[in-house]
Structure 1
Amino acid sequence: MDNNILFVFEGEKTEKLVSKSIKRIYFDDRTIITCAYCNNLYNLHREISADEDLDTFSLLKSMGINRDILAPYDRTDFAEIFLFFDYDGHDTVADDDKVLAMLNFFNEETEQGKLYISYPMVEALKHFTGNESFRDLKVKCKENINYKKLVSDEAHKEFLQLNNYEREIWNTLIICHLSKMNHIVEDVYKFPIRLMFQDEIFEHQLTKYISVDQTTAVLSAFPLFLHDYFGNKSLIEKIKK
C-alpha cells in the first residue's frame, strides 16, 4: 500500500481551501489527494446501506466528478481515507440515528475510511469569536439559519479568509476547537489529555445540545482530525514550534 492519503469532502470549494492549508503546514512530506462526494452525509448513508459490498473508494471513483482525479489510482494506492462532512441537521432527510450509524461504519481510515463531522457545517472552522465566548458558542441546527452569513457577521475578520491561514491561526484554532471538544465531552474547557472517538463526541452533542434545544456546539472536524492523526503529544509539539 502506498503512502498516499485520500481526503473525501462533502463539497468542493471551502473544503479544498482547508485541505491546501493543512497540507502546506502539516503534511509537506505526504501526498494528499482530494475528491468530492458533492452530497450530504444522509445520501452517503443511503448509498452505502443499499449495498453491503460497496467499497468507499469504488463508489467515489465511479462518480463523474472524481473520474479524472482518481483514474490513476486503485484502493491499494492509499494508506488512509478520511471523510469530512457537515452535520446538516436542518436537511429534510436529517436523521441522528443515521449519523451515529455512519460514524460507527466509517471508523477506520485503513478500511472504508474514517468520518469526521463539522457542527453544523464546514464554516465552523472560521466561526471564531474569541477564546472565552467560543467555549459556549452554539447555533440552531434543526432549521436553516443561513450559517455562512452568520459566520461572516460574527467571526473575527482575520479568520474568515482561509487562504490567509498560517501556522499562528491554525494553532489558535486547534487549541480552541480541541478545548471545545473537551468541554463537550468532559465539561472542562482546556486542551484534552486523551483522544476522543467521533461517535463519543456526537453522542454528547446529542444529549447536551441537539436533543435539549435543537442546537449544536460549534465544532470543526479539521482540528479533531489533526489531533487524532498526530496524537496528543506530537500535536502539542507542533503547536509549540
Structure 2
Amino acid sequence: MSSIILCVTEGEKTEVKVLERLQAEFLDKPIEIICFGTNIYQLYRKVKDEDIEFLITYEILQEISQERKGKRDDVLSQYSQIEIAEIYLFFDYDGHDNLSDKYPECIENMLDIFNNETENGKLYISYPMVEAFKHPVNKEEIYDISQGSKYKNYVSKICPEQLNKFINQPLNKRDWSNYFIEHMKAINFLVRNDFSYPSDYLYINKSFTQVGIYENQITKYIKPKNHILVLTPFALFLIEYLGETLFEEWAQLALTT
C-alpha cells in the first residue's frame, strides 16, 4: 500500500535536517530522503532528454540513490515503487551557477516536469538557496544573485540565533509556524503586492503555485535587477500538504504576531 513520502534534496545536511524537524512537528507520515548531492542544473541534465510521457521518476531516483550509496543508505532498496505515495523535490535556485547560463530554460522546464507529487513528483525551489528559511522577513527581502553562495554566511549573521542552532536545539511547531508565516506574507507580496498573511485559502491553490512564484521572480526581480526575493518553499509545502486546517491555524497565529 502506498504510504511513503519520498523527498529528494540537493544537499546532505541542512535540507535533510529541516525536513526531519518538520516531519516531527507537522507531518503524520514517514519520510524517506534521498540526497542528490548537487544542484538542479545537474538534475536537469539527467531528465531533459527524456520523453516526459514515459518518464519514471522512481527509476531516476534509484539511480541517484545507488550513486550516492556510502554517503547515505540506498533508501529505495527498502521499498517497491508502489509503496511511494508522493515525491517532493527540494532544490535551490542557484542562479549564480555557470550552468544557469547554459540551461536558461532549466527552472521553467523542471517546474513543468515535476508539478504533481503523485505523478512525476513536485518540485519546490528555495530562493536563493535552502538557507532562506533562516532569513528574517520584514517585507521585501532581496538578494543579489551575483553574490552566490556568500548568502550562507550572510544569512547566518542576520538570522535569529535559534535558527542557526536549530539542528542541536530543535524548534517547536509554534516557532516554525511563526517564521513560516512571514514567508507566506512574502509570497503574497510577490504575487499580489500585499505583505500580509493571505486571506483566502482557495487563492493558495490558484495563484501561489511554484510556476507563478518563479514567473513573478523573473519579471519583478531576476530580469530587471539580477536579484531575487528571498523565499523558503517549506512554508508553502506544509500549507499545500496539510491544507486548510494549517492555513487557518497560521491565520489565527498571524493575528497575534
TM above 0.5, one fold?
yes
| CA deviation map 1:51-85 (0-9, x unaligned) | 22442221111232256211021221111100000
- Determine the structure 2 residue equivalent to 1:46: 45
Bigger shift: residues 222-231 or 77-86: 222-231
Question: Which 5+ residue runs of structure 2 have no aligned equivalent?
Answer: none
- Determine the structure 2 residue equivalent to 1:208: 220
1:207 shift after superposition: 0.6
Distance, in Å, in 1 between the alignment partners of 2:45 and 2:96 is: 17
1:109-120 equivalence runs, <5 A? 109-120=117-128
Residue 183 of structure 1 aligns to a residue whose secondary structure is: helix
1:92-107 equivalence runs, <5 A? 92-94=98-100, 95-107=103-115
Residue 35 of structure 1 aligns to a residue whose secondary structure is: strand
- Determine the structure 2 residue equivalent to 1:235: 246
1:124-135 equivalence runs, <5 A? 124-128=132-136, 131=137, 134-135=138-139
Task: Give the counterpart letter for 1:125 in structure 2.
Answer: F
Residue 184 of structure 1 aligns to a residue whose secondary structure is: helix
- Determine the structure 1 residue equivalent to 2:21: 21
- Determine the structure 1 residue equivalent to 2:12: 12
- Determine the structure 1 residue equivalent to 2:181: 175
**1:226 pairs with 218, 238, 241, which one?**
238
Distance, in Å, in 2 between the alignment partners of 1:178 and 1:75 is: 33
Task: Give the counterpart letter for 2:218 in structure 1.
Answer: L
Task: Supply the RMSD in Å over aligned alpha carbons.
Answer: 1.7
| CA deviation map 1:37-60 (0-9, x unaligned) | 112111111110122244222111
Question: Would you say the 8 A contact 2:26–2:173 is kept in 1?
Answer: no
Residue 143 of structure 2 aligns to a residue whose secondary structure is: strand
Distance, in Å, in 2 between the alignment partners of 1:96 and 1:185 is: 22
* Residues 237/186 of structure 1: CA separation in 2 closer, same or farther (3 Å cut): closer
Distance, in Å, in 1 between the alignment partners of 2:129 and 2:149 is: 11
1:174 shift after superposition: 1.8
- Determine the structure 2 residue equivalent to 1:59: 60
Question: Would you say the 8 A contact 2:186–2:231 is kept in 1?
Answer: yes
Question: Which 5+ residue runs of structure 1 have no aligned equivalent?
Answer: none
1:145 shift after superposition: 5.2
Residue 5 of structure 1 aligns to a residue whose secondary structure is: strand
- Determine the structure 2 residue equivalent to 1:144: 148
1:190 shift after superposition: 1.1
Question: Would you say the 8 A contact 1:159–1:169 is kept in 2?
Answer: no
